[in-house]
Amino acid sequence: MVDLPEETKKPRTSVELFAGGGGLAMAVHQAGFRPLLFNEFNNRACETLIASARKTLGVDGLERTEEKNPKPPQPGQPAPLYPGDVRDLDLSALQGEVDVLAGGPPCQPFSAGGAAKGDEDKRNMFPAMFKAVREMRPKAVICENVRGLLRPSFAEYFQYIQNELSLPFEKRVDEVRWQDHNAHLTRILDQLSDEDSDPDHYKVVMVRVNAANYGVPQVRNRVVIVAFRADLGVDIDAFEKYVKTERFSADALFRSMRDEDGPYWKRHSDVEDHVRERVRKHLPKVIKEDDCQPWRTLRDAIQGYGTDVKLPALPPVDLDRLHEKFDFGRDIDVVGHIGWPGARIYKGHTPNELDRPAKTVKAGVHGVPGGESVMRLDERVPDASAPFRYMTVRETARVMTFPDEWHGSGPRGEQMRQLGNAVPVVLGEFFAKAVADALSAAGH
């Protein structure tokens, strides 16, 4: 990637829609973008954004606003937060000011855990993203959503989403069915050449991701859609190859574990021999060679190795106090590391294993499913039954690669819902940095 001349450099800017608890917003900030606007409908999530803004979002504060035609704040001013329906906003005052528009439209219409009504669901907010693109004309768009969009029943509509993002100014009127509008968009796209440079067009890259393959200590299958304005001359093929190259693998993790003194066990030297033996016994017989780094595990996250930046290990949860809502982090000022009683394994829900990436953190339609946040602990002695407990909010935030400075608002269930709906910071930062590098390489 090329560097811009010093005299042309200026802070890149971003707008975050459907910000939730702030995962993608934190990622975009860490990639070097200055936020111009946040939008989030849920009041608890807005409280979270405000509480964590200075430490996690790189702004001098967030200022709630009812202004429906927001202006870009000057550097050093608080970023506006519109706590309402994004469809009520007129974002045209931000036209030409935004480098990246980021957001994850609500996923319930396409999630296997929801009603799965897709485009018929009133919670489908992709049309609001297309409207925002028309009004702001950002240089790039980053959009994350559930893998459910790839289900055969949604295949045609998912292609329509990509087509409409490619041609957002070919606006669909209410009387036209999406299927008919999709046919219209397809005809136009079929006639375009690879050299298309129309500023009203965008070039779209769709990436299927497992967050664990990008350094997140969690198996989380998602879809990331990135679009660049066609007139910018971004090398789409190079960008696509870069973001689809996985950096971490299960095989690399297994290789680091297979010897009793392997790198994984050296990092976790306090793990008892009988636990190591049990884990090693269940490794695959065939482990492939590759150039990847090891998947990060739940144990890594709890012990502070869940990201490239080493964090302090979380205080251990006393197994004799599992019947209490005890604050295990209070002595070292770690927020949200509070035990939760009543853990059990539910039918159809296997527990999280310490020496594998965590299972997908879920929001749940009515809160977090009980069995999903249960973790199996180390056996105290050989051949004993392993105890179980619920993950704390802080442990869950760590497997989402949220910084410890992130403080969720509301009761435990609400904080877990915000985490389950979020984008892991490490995953979002990877894509945001790749977008910034691609823009730089194209001279922007």
The matching CATH number, chosen from 3.40.50.2300, 3.40.50.150, 3.40.50.2020, 3.40.50.261, for 6-247+421-441 is 3.40.50.150
Ranges 337-341, 353-357, 363-367, 427-431: which has the least confidence: 363-367
pLDDT at residue number 369: 55
| 2 confidence band (pLDDT: 50, 70, 90) | very low
The model's pLDDT over 168-203, given as tens digits with 9 standing for 90+, comes to 999 988 888 888 999 999 999 999 998 999 999 999
The model's confidence at residue 7, banded by pLDDT at 50, 70 and 90, is very low
Does pLDDT of 111 surpass 50? Answer: no
- pLDDT, one tens digit per residue, over 224-263 is 999 999 999 999 999 999 999 999 999 999 999 999 999 9
C-alpha distances in Å from residue 367, one per residue of 116, 129, 413: 17, 26, 6
* Cβ-Cβ contacts under 8 Å for 313 (sequence gap 6 or more): 302, 303, 304
Specify the pLDDT at position 61: 74
Contact call for residues 49 and 25 (beta carbons, < 8 A): yes
d(CA 163, CA 307): 35
Characterize the bridge pairing of strands 33-39 and 12-17: parallel
In this prediction, residue 46 carries a pLDDT of 94
Instruction: Check pLDDT > 70 for residue 345.
Output: yes
Beta-bridge mates of residue 81: 38, 64
Distance CA 91, CA 94 (A): 6
| Alpha helices (H) along 21-145 | 23-30, 43-52, 126-136
Q: What pLDDT is stored for residue 257 in this prediction?
A: 98
Q: Which segments within 242-395 are labelled E, that is strand? A: 248-249, 293-294, 352-353, 374-376, 388-390
**d(C-alpha 392, C-alpha 398), whole Å:** 10
The catalytic residue among 46, 107, 143, 292 is 107
- Digit-coded pLDDT (tens) for 258-312: 999 999 999 999 999 999 999 999 999 999 999 999 999 999 999 999 999 999 9
| pTM given for the model | 0.93
pLDDT reported for residue 119: 54
DSSP codes joined into one string, 379-415: PSSTTPPPPEEEPPHHHHHHHTT--TT----SSHHHH
pLDDT digits (tens, 9 = 90+) for 121-131: 555 788 899 99
Residues with Cβ within 8 Å of 125's Cβ and at least 6 positions away in sequence, in order, are 18, 86, 105, 106
For residue 104, what pLDDT is reported?
A: 86
273: which 2 tokens? 């021999």
Residues 202-217, mean pLDDT to the nearest whole number:
98
d(Cα 16, Cα 36) in Å, to the nearest integer? 8
Give the pLDDT band of residue 116 (cuts 50, 70, 90): very low
- Amino acid identity for residue 150 in this structure: L
Query: Where do the CATH 3.40.50.150 domains begin and end in the chain?
Result: 6-247+421-441
| Residue 107 a catalytic site member | yes
pLDDT of residue 115: 44
| Ordered DSSP codes for 197-247 | --TT-EEEEEEEEEGGGGT-SB--EEEEEEEEEGGG---HHHHHHHHTS--
What is the rounded average pLDDT for all residues in the chain?
90
pLDDT at 149: 83
As given in the structure block, the two tokens for residue 157 are 């509509």
pLDDT tens-digit readout, 398-419: 999 999 999 999 999 999 999 9
Torsion-angle region of residue 117: left (phi > 0), alpha (psi -120 to 50) or beta? Answer: alpha
Q: Rounded to whole angstroms, how far apart are CA atoms 388 and 405?
A: 27
DSSP 276-293: HHHHHHTS-S-----SPE
Q: Is the pLDDT of residue 110 over 80?
A: no
pLDDT for 231 equals: 97
Higher pLDDT, 364 or 361: 361
**Which value, to the nearest 10 degrees, does the dihedral of the CA atoms of residues 139, 108, 243, 203 take?**
-40
| pLDDT greater than 50 at residue 422 | yes
Q: Has residue 159 got a pLDDT over 90?
A: yes
CA dihedral 341, 342, 344, 347 (to 10 degrees): -130
Residue 29 has pLDDT above 50, yes or no: yes
Kindly report, residue by residue over 66-109, the tens digit of the pLDDT: 999 999 998 888 889 999 999 999 999 999 999 999 998 875 54
CA distance 115 to 222: 18
